[in-house]
Amino acid sequence: MKLDIGGGKKRNDDWKTIDINKDANIVHNLDEFPWPIKDKSCDEMYSSHTLEHLKEPLQAMEEAYRIAKHGAIFHIKIPWWKYDLFSSPEHRHLFRPEWFHKLEISAWSESMKHLCKVNWIVIRENKIRGKRNKFKIYEFEVWLRADK
């Protein structure tokens, strides 16, 4: 399965969406765990400008890891922390690129590895700077691979 996390409406391709929006394939509040998806059922996942809205982004990353198959790719886009416009009230979290590197078990000390519930390996990252309409845009995107 290919899953668009927080994608809103159904897509016109082979991807399914999970979102609180009533027009999603899977209607579910992403802040409620577990998500109604079987373990190790996703080959690929995508999320654009969703993670910063969730109450517990780390728990959401753990949930995404639960439903990911070994080797699954998770492509995430978020507002880049440097841009103040994205520190608006509906954004609960700001992320630095290093946050995603800490989701890799090798980033943890030996005495702390037992606490790490995921092993997302950063395989690519990109900072996007540009303009949309009159606004400066700063986005960060990262591609992770589930190593189980």
18 alpha carbon, distance to own chain's centre = 12
Of the ranges 24-33, 81-90, 112-121, the best mean pLDDT one: 24-33
Range of the domain at 130: 2-146
Q: CATH number of the domain at 20, please.
A: 3.40.50.150
Does this model's pTM top 0.75? My answer is: yes
Residues in a beta bridge with 48 = 77
Q: Virtual CA dihedral for 20, 23, 26, 29, nearest 10 degrees?
A: 0
What would the two tokens of residue 61 be?
């990353």
Tell me the pLDDT band of 81, cut-offs 50, 70 and 90.
low
Tell me the pLDDT band of 89, cut-offs 50, 70 and 90.
low
What would the two tokens of residue 9 be?
């409406």
Buried b (16+ CB within 10 A) or exposed e, 21-46: eeebbbeeebeeeebebeeeebebbb
- Asked whether the predicted pLDDT for residue 84 surpasses 60, the reply is no
Residue-wise pLDDT tens digits, 17-72: 999 999 999 999 999 999 999 999 999 999 999 998 899 999 999 999 999 999 99
The structural domain count of the chain equals: 1
Residues in contact with 133: Cβ distance below 8 Å, sequence separation at least 6, in sequence order: none
CA pair distance 59, 34, nearest whole angstrom: 10
